[in-house]
Amino acid sequence: MADKQKMVDAITSMDEDFAKWYTDIVKKAELIDYTSVKGCMVIRPYGYAIWENMQKILDGMFKATGHENVCMPMFIPESLLNKEKDHVEGFAPEVAWVTHGGNEKLEERLCVRPTSETLFCEHYANIVQSYRDLPKLYNQWVSVVRWEKTTRPFLRSREFLWQEGHTIHATAQEAIEETERMLNVYATFCERDLAMPVVKGRKTDSDKFAGAEATYAIEALMHDGKALQAGTSHYFGDGFAKAFGIQYLDKENKLVHPHQTSWGVTTRLIGAVIMTHGDDNGLVLPPAVAPVQVAIIPIAQHKEGVLDAARAVRDRLAEKFRVKLDDSDNSPGWKFSEYEMRGVPVRLELGPRDIEAGNCVLVTRHNREKTVVALDNLEEAIAQKLQEVRDGLYAAALENREKRTYDCKTIDEINAKLAENGDGFVRALWCGDEACEDKVKELTGVGSRCIPFDGQGQEGTCVCCGKPANTLVYWGKAY
Amino acid sequence: MADKQKMVDAITSMDEDFAKWYTDIVKKAELIDYTSVKGCMVIRPYGYAIWENMQKILDGMFKATGHENVCMPMFIPESLLNKEKDHVEGFAPEVAWVTHGGNEKLEERLCVRPTSETLFCEHYANIVQSYRDLPKLYNQWVSVVRWEKTTRPFLRSREFLWQEGHTIHATAQEAIEETERMLNVYATFCERDLAMPVVKGRKTDSDKFAGAEATYAIEALMHDGKALQAGTSHYFGDGFAKAFGIQYLDKENKLVHPHQTSWGVTTRLIGAVIMTHGDDNGLVLPPAVAPVQVAIIPIAQHKEGVLDAARAVRDRLAEKFRVKLDDSDNSPGWKFSEYEMRGVPVRLELGPRDIEAGNCVLVTRHNREKTVVALDNLEEAIAQKLQEVRDGLYAAALENREKRTYDCKTIDEINAKLAENGDGFVRALWCGDEACEDKVKELTGVGSRCIPFDGQGQEGTCVCCGKPANTLVYWGKAY
C-alpha cells in the first residue's frame, strides 16, 4: 500500500521560524482555513472541538460560581456606544459599522459589538430597581468584531469567539471580589486544564480596559519567550452605572448606583495552547481539551483478530475517554506521525503479539515514552498516562518560563539579558510614572504586562529613572 | 408578610387577545427584554436556559448522526453572496450591510450572514478534492441577521439564534437521504422532547429556500390554529457546487460535482413551545427543555424541620432532575402562581404533616392534578410525573390539531370551515399550478404549508380550479 500513502506534511522547525511553524500547525492540523473575508477564518472541526471542550469546562465553572447565560444583540446603536466616554474612545476606532438594512440606509448606524458593556447596562437599567434584584451574574458565549489591521489565526482576528461575563453588585467590595474570583477561575482553568502556568496581576493604568477602574489579567509565556494575555477581568466601579442611569433602592431606601464587572477569555487560548506546548512534530494538546485523548493504531491490522480486538478496546475506552480508532489503510508509521502532528496525548498500539500477551503499548505524545500495559487495567493506565501528560506539559512550560524570567535592575541589564537568553519575562521595579513605562518599552522592546498580586510594597529603585520604586512589574514582548 | 408580597403579574387571557397573551408571557416569565436595537432582543437567563437545553439534545442527535461542529465568519463579501443567482435574489433584499471598519470605508461591503451556504461553499472548494474527502457533515451554532420589517420575540426578529447544518456528498442519492434524515431528526425532537406534533412534508416550489432544488419542512399547529414552520431541510443538488466551482475526482478518476444540503432550526422553537402548550396561567414547558423541572415549595417553612427536609429533598433530586427550592419569604400561594406562570412541569409541596407521614404532594402543571407520594420512591414518582406531563402535552396538542384540521374539496368549503371552527390546517388537493396556489390564499387566507410525504398520488380534483389533481397540500395561516 506504500505507493498510495500520502506523506504527513512537514512542519517548519520552531527554531528556524516560529511564526511559520505556528501557521504550518494551524493549517496542517486542520484547525482553521482561510476565507475571502479578510482577517476572519473558518474554525474547522478539530479546532472547534478544542473550543467546545474549553467551553464545557469553563461554562461549568461559571455556573458553579452562580452565573447564568444570556444572549444580547450583536448590534449596538451608535448613540448607545457613545454613552460612556472612555469606553467609546477605546472602541470606536476599531468597530465595524452597519449602515444599511437591505436597500435602505439606517437612520442610525449600528456597530457590530466589539464587547457588550453598553448593551448589558441598558438591560440592567430596565431590570434593576431594588437591592433585592442584585447581584446579577451573567455570561454570554458569542463572537465579537474588532477591525484589526494585522491578523493571525486565533491570536488576533477581526472576528473571534469568546465568553463575556458581566455582573452587577450592590457594593464595590462585592464587585471587586467578583473581579478577583473570575481571574482565579481563569488561572485555575489555564493551569489545571491547559497545563499552562500564568502570572496573575493588575494591568497598569495605560493598559486598562476602556472604561474600567482596574483591569486584572493572567499572562502566560509562550515557547518563544513572548508574553500572551490569556484572560482579563475588569472592575468598573460605578462609572458605567452613572453613565447609563442605573440606580437601585438600597436597604435604607436610598437611591444609589450599583458596581459592575466584566471578564472574558477567547479562542486566543487555542493559540496559547499551540505556542506553549507544541513542538517540531506538531501540536501537543493538554488532555482536558484534546478532541481525541487516545488514538488507537492497530499493528498488522490485516491479521486475524487484530481489528476486532482494536474495536473492542475502543468500545471499552469510549465510555471514559475521547477515543479514535484509525483502521484506515495507511501504514502504522504514517498514522504515528499523523496523530503526533495532531497532538493526541496518548497513542495506543495493538498488534497480534500484544493481543496474545494480553497487553498493549501506550506512547505519551509529549515525551514519546513507551509503556507496555496489561489490557486488564487499561482504563486506569490511561487515566494515569493522561495525568502524566498534563503534569509533564505543565512542568516543561514552567521550566521554560523560569528559564526565561529575568530579574533586572537597570535598562542595560534588561537589554543584556534579552540579548543573551532571548525573549522572556523581565521582572523589574517601577516608580509608577507612565513616562518611565513608555521609556522601558522604547529602550528595550518589552512593555509592562502586569503588576503581580504580590508585587506591591517592594523596596528599591525604578528600573528606568532610578528613583524610589515599590511596584514590581512583569515586562515582556506581547502577542 | 402579606403586605410585602408582590402579586404575580396577571396575563391577558388567550381567548381575549392571543397576541397580547404571547407578549405578556415572554415578558412576565422573563424570557426576553426589549432593547434599543430595533427588532433585536435580550434573551434572559430563563429563556436562554430553554435554548441551551434544546441545543444540548439536538447537538447530541447531530453528533450521533456523524456531524461535526465548525464556525464560519459572520460576514460575507458581496461578491461571494452574488455567486449563486437564486440565492442572492432571495437574500440580498433583507441583509444588513457593513460598509465601514473603524473610520475607513471598506473596498467591498460585507453582509452579516443571513445564512452561510456561500461561506461553506468557498470552504468546500478548498478542502474537497477526491471522493475520499466526502462526505463532509458540518453544523454550526451561531446567530444570523435578516432585516425584517415587523418583528415579534422568538417568532421573527432581525437577529436570531440557530443551528445551520451543511453537508456535501458524492452522490445526489446520499444528499437526498441526508435531507430526509435531518428532517426526521427535527420531527423526533419536536414530538418526543417538545411534545409538539408536526406534519412532515415538502414545500411547494414557490416556497422553496433560495437556491434549493427541494425544501422539506416540519409544520406545527399553534393553539390559536395558525401554522408555524418549525424546521427546514434543503436539498441543493449540484447547483451551488457548479456556481462555486466545487469538484472532486471520483473513483473512476473523473472530475465531477458533489451534491449538497443544509438544514436549520432556530430560537423560534421557543415561540412554538409557548404557543403550543401555554395557557391562561402562563407558560407550560415540556420537561425535556424546562430549565426547572421540579419546583419545591415548603409549606409552613417557619416550622422546625421543614426547610431542612426540603433541602434534603432538593439535594437528593438534584442528582437526577433540574430542581429549584424556593425558600424565599413569599407565601406558598404566591409561589404556586409564580412557578405555574413560569411553566415548571412539576411542583413539589412539602409541609410538616407531609414530613411526618413520610410523604409529599406532587402537582403537574398541565392539568393541576395532585398526587400524594411517598418520599421513599420519590425519584421514580417524579420521573413518571414528568413523562405524564410530556404525554399529556402531546395528547392535548394533537387533539387541538385534529380538531382544527379540515378536509376540504372547494374554496367555499374552506371558507365555511374556517368561519365555523376558526383557523387551522386545511387539507385539500392541488393541481400543481402556482396560479391556483396563489388564488387559494387570496380567496381564503390560507397559504400552502407543505405537501405531506404521503400526499402524492391522490385521486381527485384541485380545490381551486377543479381540474384533476393528485397532490394533497396542508394549507394554513402562517406565523
Which residue in this structure is represented by grid cell 478577583?
A: A180
pLDDT tens track for B168-217: 999 999 999 999 999 999 999 999 999 999 999 999 999 999 999 999 99
Distance from CA of B426 to the nearest CA of A (A): 34
Listed in sequence order, the residues at least 6 apart from A105 whose beta carbon sits closer than 8 Å to its beta carbon are A99
Res B438 pLDDT > 70: yes
CA-CA distance, A387 to A389, in Å (whole number)? 5
Cβ neighbours of B56 in A, within 8 Å:
none
Cβ neighbours of A132 in B, within 8 Å:
none
In the stretch 160-179 of chain A, residues with CB closer than 8 A to chain B read 161
Note the pTM of the prediction, 2 decimals: 0.96
pLDDT confidence tier of residue B227, bands split at 50, 70 and 90: very high
DSSP E strands, A191-345: 199-202, 214-221, 227-237, 248-249, 255-256, 259-266, 294-298, 323-325
CA-CA distance, A342 to A365, in Å (whole number)? 10
Task: Specify burial of residue A368 (Cβ count, 10 A radius: 0-12, 13-18, 19+).
Answer: exposed
| CB-side neighbour CA atoms (13 Å) of B171 | 4
* Pick from B471, B426, B423: nearest CA to B203: B471
Q: What is the DSSP string of A327-344?
A: -SSS-HHHHHHHHHHTT-
* Pick from B265, B326, B346, B51: nearest CA to A68: B51
| pLDDT of the residue at B7 | 59
At B71 the three-state DSSP class reads strand
CA-CA distance, A267 to A257, in Å (whole number)? 34
| B89 contact A CB<8A | no
The full set of domains in chain B, from first to last, is 2-277 (3.30.930.10), 294-391 (3.40.50.800), 405-476 (3.30.110.30)
What stretches of A96-222 show up as alpha helix (H) in DSSP?
117-127, 172-188
| A73 contact B CB<8A | yes
Identify the closest residue of chain A to B139 by CA–CA distance.
Answer: A45
The three three-digit cell numbers of residue B474, written as one number: 396542508
CA-CA distance, B182 to B188, in Å (whole number)? 10
> Which ipTM did the prediction report?
0.96
Q: Is the peptide bond before B291 cis (omega within 30 degrees of 0)?
A: no
- HEC profile for B365-421? CCCCCEEEEECCCHHHHHHHHHHHHHHHHHHHHHHHHHHCEEECCCHHHHHHHHHHH
CA-CA distance, B117 to B135, in Å (whole number)? 16
Other CB atoms within a 10 A radius of the CB of residue A457 amount to 8
At B450 the three-state DSSP class reads strand
CA-CA distance, B215 to A271, in Å (whole number)? 40
Nearest to A69 among B45, B98, B127 (CB): B45
Other CB atoms within a 10 A radius of the CB of residue A373 amount to 18
Type and span of the H or E element at B172: helix B172-188
Interface residue of A35, A91, A104, A161 to substitute, partner B, most B CBs within 10 Å: A35
The three three-digit cell numbers of residue B281, written as one number: 396561567
Cβ neighbours of A43 in B, within 8 Å:
70-71
Interface contact A36-B77, CB threshold 8 A: yes
Q: Is A368 left (phi over 0), alpha (psi -120 to 50) or beta?
A: left
Residues of chain A falling short of pLDDT 70 = 1-9
Cβ neighbours of A79 in B, within 8 Å:
36
Q: Are strands A227-237 and A259-266 parallel, antiparallel or unpaired?
A: antiparallel
Share of residues in chain B with pLDDT > 70 (%):
98
Distance from CA of B307 to the nearest CA of A (A): 21
Interface residue of B56, B97, B138, B160 to substitute, partner A, most A CBs within 10 Å: B97
Pair B179, B214: CB distance under 8 Å: yes
pLDDT tens track for B129-152: 999 999 999 999 999 999 999 999
| B478 contact A CB<8A | no
Instruction: Name beta bridge partners: A360.
Output: A373
Pair A149, A139: CB distance under 8 Å: no
CA-CA distance, B48 to B26, in Å (whole number)? 12
Which residue in this structure is represented by grid cell 497480534?
A: A352
CA-CA distance, B275 to B253, in Å (whole number)? 54
In the stretch 106-125 of chain A, residues with CB closer than 8 A to chain B read 110, 112, 119, 122-123
| pLDDT of the residue at A1 | 34
CA-CA distance, B200 to B177, in Å (whole number)? 15
CA-CA distance, B330 to A145, in Å (whole number)? 44
Interface contact A147-B102, CB threshold 8 A: yes
Instruction: Name beta bridge partners: B105.
Output: B100
User: Which DSSP category does A445 fall into?
Assistant: S
At A288 the three-state DSSP class reads coil
Interface contact A74-B143, CB threshold 8 A: yes
Task: Specify burial of residue B226 (Cβ count, 10 A radius: 0-12, 13-18, 19+).
Answer: buried
The answer to whether the Cα torsion of A332, A337, A341, A344 is positive or negative is positive
Interface contact A123-B92, CB threshold 8 A: no
Nearest to A119 among B35, B79, B96 (CB): B35
CA-CA distance, A154 to A163, in Å (whole number)? 15
Pair B283, B274: CB distance under 8 Å: yes
| CB-side neighbour CA atoms (13 Å) of A322 | 16
Distance from CA of A100 to the nearest CA of B (A): 5
Cβ neighbours of A80 in B, within 8 Å:
36
Task: Specify burial of residue B462 (Cβ count, 10 A radius: 0-12, 13-18, 19+).
Answer: buried
Interface contact B147-A102, CB threshold 8 A: yes
B268-277 vs B378-403: helix crossing angle, rounded to 10: 90
| pLDDT of the residue at A9 | 67
Share of residues in chain A with pLDDT > 90 (%):
96
Distance from CA of B94 to the nearest CA of A (A): 4
Cβ neighbours of B28 in A, within 8 Å:
none
CA-CA distance, A96 to A75, in Å (whole number)? 10
CA-CA distance, A68 to A97, in Å (whole number)? 30
| A49 contact B CB<8A | yes
Interface contact A76-B37, CB threshold 8 A: yes
Residue type for position B276? T
The three three-digit cell numbers of residue A167, written as one number: 455582573
Cβ neighbours of B253 in A, within 8 Å:
none
Which residue in this structure is represented by grid cell 432544488?
A: B213
The three three-digit cell numbers of residue A321, written as one number: 475517554
CA-CA distance, A477 to A425, in Å (whole number)? 8
pLDDT tens track for B257-315: 999 999 999 999 999 999 999 999 999 999 999 999 999 999 999 999 999 999 999 99
| A67 contact B CB<8A | no
Nearest to B97 among A48, A99, A143 (CB): A99
**Greater pLDDT, B6 or B70:** B70
The three three-digit cell numbers of residue B88, written as one number: 442572492
For chain B, state the CA radius of gyration.
25
At B72 the three-state DSSP class reads coil
User: Which DSSP category does B207 fall into?
Assistant: G
| pLDDT of the residue at B274 | 98
User: Which DSSP category does A94 fall into?
Assistant: G
The three three-digit cell numbers of residue A420, written as one number: 543573551
CA-CA distance, A250 to A253, in Å (whole number)? 5
Q: What is the mean pLDDT of chain B?
A: 96
* Pick from B463, B398, B396: nearest CA to B199: B398
| pLDDT of the residue at B5 | 46
At B435 the three-state DSSP class reads helix
| pLDDT of the residue at A3 | 38
Nearest to A101 among B35, B80, B147 (CB): B147
Distance from CA of A443 to the nearest CA of B (A): 31
Between CA B328 and CA B337, with CA B332 as vertex, the angle to 5 degrees is: 100
Interface contact A37-B75, CB threshold 8 A: yes
Other CB atoms within a 10 A radius of the CB of residue B24 amount to 19
| pLDDT of the residue at B157 | 95
The three three-digit cell numbers of residue B86, written as one number: 437564486
Pair B325, B285: CB distance under 8 Å: no
Other CB atoms within a 10 A radius of the CB of residue B266 amount to 24
CA-CA distance, B204 to B433, in Å (whole number)? 10
Q: Is the peptide bond before A73 cis (omega within 30 degrees of 0)?
A: no
| B92 contact A CB<8A | yes
DSSP 3-state percent helix, strand, coil across chain A (nearest 5):
35, 30, 35
| CB-side neighbour CA atoms (13 Å) of A113 | 22
